C-alpha cells in the first residue's frame, strides 16, 4: 500500500453550531476532528454553522488533529452549499452522511471536481442506512479508484438503530454483525474503518469496553462525541507493550541466520509464518 499511514484512533465530532467547542477543537489530542454540519446541528442553525467553517480553517496552525467536515446529504436543502463551503476550506476529508450506494459518493466527487476542489481532499462515508449496508461492497470498491477520493468508512450506529429498529445494548450484540461487515468491506476496498459513537459519555468503563471490542473487530479507531473519550480511545487503538514485544520477537526470530530461508518457524511452541512477519512489521511501523 503506497499511502502514508496516519493514525485515526480518536475521531471527535464537534457540532459546528457550538462556537466554544469549535474553538477548542484544534488543540485537542485526538487524531481527527469532524466538524459536524449534519445531525448535531438543528435545521434553524444550518446556515450559521456553515458560515463558521472558514474561521476555523483560517486559524489552523501546523500540527494538531486532521480536520474533516461532515456535510448534510446532497439530497437535503443544505448539502450542495455545504459541499462548496467545505471544499473551499480544503479539509483533510469531507464526510458524507446517509450514503445509500456508490452513486452518492460519485455525485459528491463530481461536484468537487466541478468546483476545482483540491485533489488531496478525501471523501469519507457514513454507513448508517439499510441501503448503505446492503451496498457496502460496491461502495468500498470505489476505494480502488483513486479518482473517487474515497478513504474511510464510518459506522453510524445511531442512525442504523433508528432505521432498522435494532436494539442498542451495552454489549452491542445486535449490531456486531453489521460492524464486522463494515470492517470487511473497508479492507476489500483498501479503506480505513471507524467504529460508531458511544452515547453514554460519562461512563468511561463502558467506553473502554466498546473500544476494546472495536479494536478486536479490526476497526482503525472510534468516532467520539466528548473530549473525555479521546485519551481512552488513543490508548485502546495504539499497539500495547505486549503486542510490540511479540512483534519484535517475530522480527528478531526471522532475522536469525538459521531462519533466513524458512517460511515457517516456531516461537515458544506457536507456529509463526512469514505472513505473521509482515503483520509484525506493519504493527512496529505504526507503534
Q: Is 58 exposed, middle or buried (0-12, 13-18, 19+ CB in 10 A)?
A: exposed
The phi, psi pair for 107, rounded to 5°, reads: -65, -45
CA atoms within 13 A on the CB side of 233: 30
Dig out the grid coordinates for 285 from the structure: 511501523
Binding partner of 78, given Mg ion, ligand COA, none, CB within 5-8 angstroms per partner class: none
**Only segment of 61-69, 75-83, 151-159, 200-208 that touches Mg ion (CB under 5 A):** 151-159
With binding defined as CB under 6 A, does residue 32 bind ligand COA? no
Nearer to Mg ion, 87 or 160 (CB): 160
d(CA 8, CA 207) in angstroms, rounded, equals 17
Is residue 163 close enough to count as binding ligand COA by CB under 6 A?
no
Q: Which is nearer to Mg ion, 50 or 70 (CB)?
A: 70
State which residue, 91 or 156, has the beta carbon closest to Mg ion. Answer: 156
Q: Does 79 bind Mg ion (CB under 5 A)?
A: no
Residue of the chain from 8, 9, 11, 13 that contacts ligand COA (CB under 6 A) = 13
Among 14, 139, 150, 193, indicate the residue that binds ligand COA (CB under 6 A): 14
- Crossing angle between the packed helical segments 79-89 and 102-114, to the nearest 10 degrees: 60
Minimum distance of ligand COA from residue 227's CB (angstroms): 5
Task: Give the x-and-dash track for 169-208 against ligand COA (CB under 6 A).
Answer: ----------------------------x-----------
Q: Which does 15 bind (CB under 5 to 8 A by kind): Mg ion, ligand COA, none?
A: ligand COA
156 binds Mg ion, rule: CB under 5 A: yes
159 binds, among ligand COA, Mg ion, none (CB under 5 to 8 A by kind): Mg ion
Residue 214 site contact among ligand COA, Mg ion, none (CB < 5 to 8 Å, cut-off depends on kind): none
Local structure of 10: helix, strand or coil? strand
Residue 21 or 175 having the CB closest to ligand COA: 21
Contact in structure between 120 and 94 (CB atoms under 8 Å): no
Cα–Cα distance, 238 to 231 (Å, whole number): 11
70's grid cell: 461532515
- The contact mask relative to Mg ion for 22-61 (x = CB under 5 A, - = no) is -----------------x----------------------
Question: Cα(34)–Cα(250) distance, rounded to whole angstroms?
Answer: 37
Distance from C-alpha of 171 to C-alpha of 235, rounded to nearest angstrom: 20
Helix (H, G, I), strand (E, B) or coil at 147: helix
Kind plus residue range of the DSSP H or E element containing 195:
strand 192-195
Q: Among residues 104, 159, 192, 246, which is the contact residue for Mg ion, using CB under 5 A?
A: 159
Beta-carbon contacts of 246 under 8 Å, excluding residues fewer than 6 positions away, are: 280
Residues that bind ligand COA (CB under 6 A): 12-15, 20-21, 24-25, 36, 39-40, 197, 225-227
Contacts with Mg ion, residue ranges (CB under 5 A)? 39, 128, 156, 159
Amino acid at each position: 500500500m503506497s499511502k502514508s499511514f496516519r493514525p485515526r484512533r480518536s475521531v471527535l465530532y464537534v457540532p459546528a453550531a457550538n462556537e466554544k467547542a469549535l474553538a477548542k477543537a484544534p488543540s485537542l489530542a485526538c487524531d481527527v476532528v469532524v466538524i459536524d454540519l449534519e445531525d448535531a446541528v438543528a435545521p434553524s442553525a444550518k446556515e450559521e454553522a456553515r458560515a463558521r467553517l472558514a474561521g476555523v480553517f483560517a486559524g489552523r496552525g501546523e500540527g494538531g488533529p486532521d480536520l474533516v467536515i461532515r456535510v448534510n446529504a446532497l439530497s437535503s436543502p443544505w448539502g450542495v452549499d455545504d459541499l462548496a463551503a467545505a471544499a473551499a476550506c480544503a479539509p483533510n476529508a469531507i464526510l458524507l452522511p446517509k450514503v445509500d450506494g456508490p452513486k452518492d459518493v460519485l455525485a459528491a466527487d463530481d461536484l468537487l471536481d466541478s468546483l476545482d476542489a483540491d485533489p488531496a481532499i478525501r471523501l469519507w462515508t457514513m454507513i448508517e442506512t439499510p441501503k448503505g449496508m446492503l451496498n457496502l461492497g460496491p461502495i468500498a470498491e470505489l476505494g480502488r479508484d483513486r479518482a473517487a477520493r474515497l478513504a474511510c468508512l464510518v459506522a453510524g450506529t445511531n442512525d442504523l438503530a433508528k432505521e432498522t429498529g435494532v436494539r442498542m445494548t451495552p454489549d452491542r450484540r445486535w449490531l456486531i454483525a453489521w460492524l464486522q461487515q463494515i470492517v470487511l468491506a473497508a479492507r476489500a476496498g483498501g479503506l480505513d474503518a471507524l467504529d460508531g459513537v458511544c452515547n453514554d459519555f460519562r461512563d468511561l468503563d463502558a467506553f473502554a469496553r466498546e473500544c476494546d471490542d472495536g479494536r478486536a473487530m479490526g476497526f482503525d479507531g472510534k468516532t467520539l462525541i466528548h473530549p473525555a473519550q479521546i485519551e481512552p480511545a488513543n490508548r485502546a487503538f495504539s499497539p500495547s507493550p505486549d503486542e510490540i514485544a511479540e512483534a519484535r520477537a517475530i522480527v528478531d526470530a526471522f532475522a536469525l541466520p538459521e531462519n533466513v530461508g524458512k517460511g515457517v518457524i516456531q516461537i515458544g511452541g506457536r507456529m509463526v509464518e512469514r505472513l505473521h512477519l509482515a503483520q509484525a512489521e506493519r504493527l512496529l511501523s505504526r507503534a
